[in-house]
Structure 1
């Protein structure tokens, strides 16, 4: 355990880390619902305004793997407190920005500072407790990780509707000031951390190029038809070359910016694989549900966001109740149970009908989030629970990076999947819409008559009837595509189960406990 922390100080650390992470994670999604108003206010096009989110994601993912090295270089206390302060200042500057370039710059800086918060917070929480107590602390910390992306869009929509888009950034300022003070007064430096004799500038450059370009590809790919775009092909190639150079550099230098040799730890390797898959599957399902609800079921954005809160609360309650009922349960059993619950919730979503309402989804989302609450904290603690000190900080950063990349990959994968599947789904739908199908002809006659009765000419009524029929087919096409996405993700979750049982459960012996106490 790091230092001689009293119980009160340990829980102050947990609250500080959770508040900082919650603030950072909310900001990853809070802006999305306000992009339309921001674009109109500052005179940016739809394509240009997307960079407000992209810049944040690029800054975020670049700094995450470097956070352990930066914490060692500057001292964890100083690095963490300064990250909160810079995040707060950047939030203020985003709120008072009057132009697109200015807003994108401050969003990038905000993302850089936020990446340091997310990666360092987990190591602070785990490092403050001995292994036998760390699971409880991690459960509370993960509440922020799970609830942030859920509350972000709802909070963003509410603030934008009642105040203005500027306040989605201003709201961070008072919270950030309090968090900066808490970070400076409660976070301590790592006892075994020593400033490296040399800074791995080449490694920092390579990882920035690799992750920055990859994040650009994942966020901008859907807007540019992926690899049909020369720009996307260029940045993807640069990213892959950057990864090759980064891996070679980190495995051959004596003072790496990111210690990739930690992947020799079997649990960390397997945990990161599960984390990557979880990020892919969880984010992809959360990405397509709002699209299904709003495009096919006719829900408003506010209704969609409010609906998803109930599932988040259910997940939080499941964490608390699960800890009370199964304090000493095997984490692999809990993780597997979580996966099964998620699969059980996703499969019925793949067979939902077009006239479904919120009652059809309510219990399915309760079950899904209950499963996620069993999976996420146990997965984190199992993959890095055997590490301490400097190794824990590096492992936490690597685990956070893989989950972040998994989330971005998930959205990219589901976008590609729905595009391809949409074309596949359309054929069996349109082959039945022919002049030889009496039901189709009867529908067309009814529609033409309705438009004619409304005052349209004969040709206009016929054209409008065919257009409405085409819109109906397109709506069905979108609906079937999305529910197929739920089924596809359910089967991917099933493939995670064998990986879980490869992870080794840490042994709780006296020797290890004594070692951790120091």
Structure 2
């Protein structure tokens, strides 16, 4: 994947940028394909209880609907560069969209859980190239000095999708049938594929046929799939107390070690790890991935806490998180306009500082919090979201020639998505552990030998006309609610510290100021 073309021939010149209405229509089509993919990664989350009930399985079994999609998607994303070389950007992108449509239909009509899981594996696998290729295609469509604007449009879809997913999924599931969370992809995908093909079929990238790295592909599947399943199921199986988790962990560790050695020494690696030798790619990828992992982990915890302890419905919890997309949508185009004239590192630094401020605000939550004080930090978080994706993506892709953008975008997106899964697992486990710790500390004084405690129980019995066991149960519920709130505040506080701590990663990269955002450098 990292090998140059034959010495006797040089890469053909890239086609000129699109203009006018054709550029607008092409951007919408490519963005819709990306949005469809990103949305589907989160839209099924709130529908799992309904899906499980309709298919006659437990909720624990139903969560495999999410797990298998994430694992298949994680494996296929880093293959984008290699697949692009063999089939071309446009053909691969359109084929991925159409295959995603077919897989979505199969998910919707699945009568049993095993059939649904097979369809979700297919859906996740064919979705892998969509996000990296959408970046590459958009950068090739816009003039070089407008590449930051192209990345801004791309960022709008990738930020809004995970936010809209839970709310949209909850509304569809409550109002219609869970199958429609998959059926909605069909018209969107057909439109995106037809428009993309009509505009781009004569703008295909050069192709060649590098040998298939069978060993590298097998090792990639082994470590990514085993680690993804470990992260998704670790909490349910009590982590390394389970032989299944131990086996998955050993498999992931050993296969990853062999994967690194093999890919760094293979003549035709299936994943171009040599990209990490570039300062901008290394620093930008680590920064955006760690930040996304922290952000996404908290994005999962917040609605879960609202549903479990504040009695919010799933659709209402989704609506509380939805304002995150307001400023992200409004400001992303503005960032695209100012980025070519500004050091991307300054904008990304401002984003991380603002993220820290938002999480410090959330670390002050109390049980009696009203909806407005839940919405306010979420609304404000849209500002750093707009300042987050575009500059760091520009840094990552800075100076990459057009033929290497799919590989660079694929690898960086793989690391980012994978860190999202890691962040979610760490956040949920840390919240559980901190809640248990606070619960233990709060119950230290809850003893029949403590006159203050016994007096409180007696007052509760008298005021609410409860029996002593009921009063104790109420006390324990209130104490558990308080412990969960304190544990969540700890996660928010630590998240703020992490955002400040990773700022130096941004500054090991080189400035992209004046390069049109950097993403299209060398692409035209």
What's the TM-score once normalised by structure 1's chain length?
Answer: 0.93
Aligned match of 2:10: none
Are residues 1:505 and 2:511 paired? yes
Residue pair 1:91, 1:106 contacting (<8 A) in 2 also: yes
Contact 2:400–2:520 (CA under 8 A) maintained in structure 1: no
Is the Cα contact below 8 Å between 2:342 and 2:513 reproduced in 1? Answer: no
Structure 1: give runs of 5+ residues left out of the alignment.
455-460
2: CA distance, partners of 1:2 / 1:382 = 21
Residues 90 and 197 in structure 2, CA contact (< 8 A), matched pair in contact too: yes
Counting only pairs closer than 5 Å after superposition, residues 338-487 of structure 1 correspond to structure 2 as: 338-435=351-448, 437-449=450-462, 453=465, 461-487=467-493
Q: Between 316-325 and 377-386, report the one with greater CA deviation.
A: 316-325
The alpha-carbon distance between structure 1 residues 39 and 316, as it changes in their structure 2 partners (threshold 3 A), is same
- Report 1:293-372 matches (<5 A): 293-323=306-336, 328-372=341-385
Task: Return the match for 1:148 from 157, 161, 179.
Answer: 161
Question: Would you identify which runs of 4 or more consecutive aligned residues in structure 1 move more than 6 Å?
Answer: 189-192, 512-515
User: Which has the higher mean CA deviation after the structures are superposed, 160-169 or 433-442?
Assistant: 433-442
Classify the secondary structure of the residue corresponding to 1:288: helix
CA distance in 1 between counterparts of 2:152 and 2:520 reads 24
- Counting helix residues as a fraction of each chain, which structure ranks higher? 1
Structure 1 pair 101–212 and aligned structure 2 pair: CA distance change class (3 A): same
The answer to whether the 8 Å contact 1:122/1:396 transfers is yes
Give 1:437 deviation, angstroms. Answer: 4.6
Does the CA-based 8 Å contact 2:84-2:207 persist in structure 1?
A: no
- The match for 1:279 among 272, 287, 292 is 292
* Alpha-carbon contact 1:34-1:165 (below 8 Å) kept: yes
Q: Which whole-Å CA distance do the structure 2 matches of 1:449 and 1:237 have between them? A: 57
Partner of 1:5: 17
| Cα gap change, 1:56 to 1:254, in 2 (>3 Å) | same
Once the two structures are TM-superposed, the CA of residue 369 in structure 1 deviates from its matched residue by 1.8
Partners in 1 of 2:255 and 2:172 — Cα distance? 40
Count of matched residue pairs: 510
1:435-460 deviation digits (Å, cap 9, x = unpaired) = 45554323211233356x47xxxxxx
Q: Which residue of 1 aligns with 2:250?
A: 237
Give the alignment partner of residue 177 of structure 1, picking from 190, 202, 211: 190
Determine if contact 2:104/2:119 at 8 Å carries over to the other structure: yes
Q: Does 1:493 align with 2:499?
A: yes
Whether the 8 Å CA contact 2:398–2:521 is kept in 1: the answer is: no
Tell me the distance in 1 between the aligned counterparts of 2:154 and 2:519. 23
1:95 aligns with 2:92: no
Give runs of aligned pairs for residues 50-129 of structure 1, distance below 5 A. 50-129=63-142
1:458 is aligned to none
For the residue of structure 2 that corresponds to 1:26, the secondary structure is helix
Is the 8 Å Cα contact of residues 339 and 497 (structure 1) preserved in structure 2? yes
Q: Post-superposition shift, 1:272?
A: 1.0
2:397–2:520 Cα contact (<8 Å) kept: no
Unaligned 5+ runs, structure 2: 1-12
In structure 2, distance between residues paired with 1:127 and 1:218: 36
- TM-score, L = length of structure 2: 0.92
Superposition CA RMSD, Å: 2.2
**Secondary structure in 1 aligned to 2:234?**
helix
Q: Secondary structure at the match of 2:502?
A: helix
User: Which of 45, 56, 62 matches 1:43?
Assistant: 56
